[in-house]
């Protein structure tokens, strides 16, 4: 394996994946929407092989794939806003068909599809594993990921060399732009940590990148791997942040059902008042009814070890401070 085509290479997961591939001595070919953004993220001339285009355009996908031994499909339009649902569904499904289907048709030997916990999410499940069925009642962004999931599994059933990975909420430093978990950290450090039912599960983008590299090197055929990282109940997040930052963290009890209602209300009111509200019913459903993800398959298959969640949180907070997203007071003793 010499060259790997990556979609979404200027995004958070994609960026760290590309860095891991380059560090391993592999060439990369990126499909990007903007050469300007590519140079901003990596520096001018660092990425030698790239194609300007879009995952919804099969021709640009094929151009980016030429000469590649493997493909990692990371790119997706991410939004849990109800108003974006149809556009998210169309772009994500078309892109997945173009990238995964195009790679299989071209005879690419290794294909990795980066799915999501939302593709498997079922609030009635006790735990999510690689054998969990696609989400039975997904909406919005989750609905798009379920459609992509079904397509990827259909390729696996046909014997195609497609491996699917399922990251949880992704944290870590050095994001090309803020992600929802980063915005969450800003809230927790600048305002309060909500005390709700359930919790959240965090995986470091650098761990995802290591997993991608290990899968390309050691896996064969088609497989599925949960990349859940570490589960943290909401009641434990405040004490962890307090220990890491050395400062007082405000914790506010909130009712899960009320928060889901507030998310739905915000979605209806925001367009009328022309407001950009961060609350969505879909996002708050995940936050208040999280179902834990089981990492045991990738751990047993590769001896894979996820970095401690405290390290991911500390590195994320330090990066948020250095990048100017939070103040020294909010970062506490991690402001260095």
> Exposure string (b/e) for 268-300, b if CB count within 10 Å is 16 or more?
eebeeeeeeeebbbbbbbbbbbbbbbebebbee
Contacts of 247 (CB under 8 A, 6+ apart): 329, 332, 333
Quick one: pLDDT at residue 141? 79
> Scanning the structure block, which residue is given the tokens 């000469």?
67
- Would residue 108 count as lying in a domain? yes
Q: What is the number of domains present in the chain?
A: 1
Quick one: pLDDT at residue 90? 92
Tell me, rounded to whole angstroms, the distance of Cα 224 from its chain centroid.
16
The four Cα atoms 319, 322, 323, 326 give a dihedral, to 10 degrees, of 90
- Would residue 68 count as lying in a domain? yes
From the candidates 42, 89, 141, 231, give the one annotated as an active-site residue. Answer: 141
How far apart CA 87 and CA 83 sit, in angstroms, is 9
How far apart CA 277 and CA 300 sit, in angstroms, is 42
How far apart CA 206 and CA 175 sit, in angstroms, is 11
Quick one: pLDDT at residue 137? 79
How far apart CA 237 and CA 213 sit, in angstroms, is 30
- Would residue 268 count as lying in a domain? no
Quick one: pLDDT at residue 230? 98
Quick one: pLDDT at residue 278? 59
Chunked into runs of 10 residues, the chain (336 residues) has average pLDDT values of 95 98 97 96 95 96 96 87 81 96 96 95 94 88 91 97 97 95 95 92 98 90 95 97 97 82 69 60 76 96 97 98 98 97
Quick one: pLDDT at residue 40? 96
Q: Which two tokens stand for residue 201?
A: 């599960």
Range of the domain at 117: 3-169+202-228+292-308
The CATH code of the domain that includes 91 is: 3.40.50.720
- Would residue 209 count as lying in a domain? yes
Quick one: pLDDT at residue 197? 85
- Would residue 25 count as lying in a domain? yes
- Would residue 206 count as lying in a domain? yes
141 noted as active-site residue: yes
- Would residue 61 count as lying in a domain? yes
Contacts of 106 (CB under 8 A, 6+ apart): 62, 65
- Would residue 286 count as lying in a domain? no
Quick one: pLDDT at residue 281? 62
Quick one: pLDDT at residue 221? 79
Measured from the Cβ of residue 200, the count of other Cβ atoms closer than 10 Å reads 20
């Amino acid at each position: 394996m010499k060259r790997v085509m990556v979609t979404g290479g200027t995004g958070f997961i994609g960026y760290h994946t590309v860095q891991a591939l380059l560090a391993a001595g592999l060439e990369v070919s990126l499909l990007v929407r903007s050469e300007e953004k590519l140079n901003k993220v990596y520096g001018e001339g660092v990425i030698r092989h790239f194609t300007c285009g879009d995952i919804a355009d099969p021709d640009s996908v094929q151009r980016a794939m030429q000469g590649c031994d493997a493909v990692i499909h990371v790119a997706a339009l991410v939004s849990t806003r109800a108003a974006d649902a149809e556009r998210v569904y169309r772009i994500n499904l078309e892109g997945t068909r173009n990238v995964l289907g195009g790679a299989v048709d071209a005879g690419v030997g290794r294909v990795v599809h980066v799915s999501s916990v939302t593709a498997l999410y079922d609030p009635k499940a006790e735990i999510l594993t690689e054998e969990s069925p696609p989400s039975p009642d997904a909406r919005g962004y989750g609905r798009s990921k379920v459609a992509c999931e079904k397509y990827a599994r259909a390729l696996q059933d046909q014997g195609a060399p497609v491996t699917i990975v399922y990251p949880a909420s992704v944290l870590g430093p050095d994001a090309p732009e803020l992600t929802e978990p980063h915005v969450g950290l800003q809230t927790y450090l600048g305002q309060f940590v909500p005390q709700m039912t359930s919790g959240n599960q965090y995986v470091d983008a650098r761990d995802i990148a290591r997993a991608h590299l290990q899968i390309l090197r050691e896996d064969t055929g088609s497989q599925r791997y949960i990349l859940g990282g570490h589960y943290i109940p909401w009641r434990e997040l405040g004490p962890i942040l307090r220990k890491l930052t050395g400062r007082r963290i405000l914790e506010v009890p909130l009712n899960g059902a009320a928060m889901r209602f507030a998310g739905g209300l915000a979605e209806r009111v925001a367009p009328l008042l022309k407001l950009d509200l961060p609350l969505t019913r879909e996002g708050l459903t995940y936050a208040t009814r999280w179902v834990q993800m089981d990492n045991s398959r990738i751990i047993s298959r590769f001896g894979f070890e996820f970095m401690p969640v405290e390290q991911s949180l500390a590195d994320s907070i330090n990066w948020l401070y250095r990048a100017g997203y939070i103040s020294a007071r909010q970062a506490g003793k991690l402001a260095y």
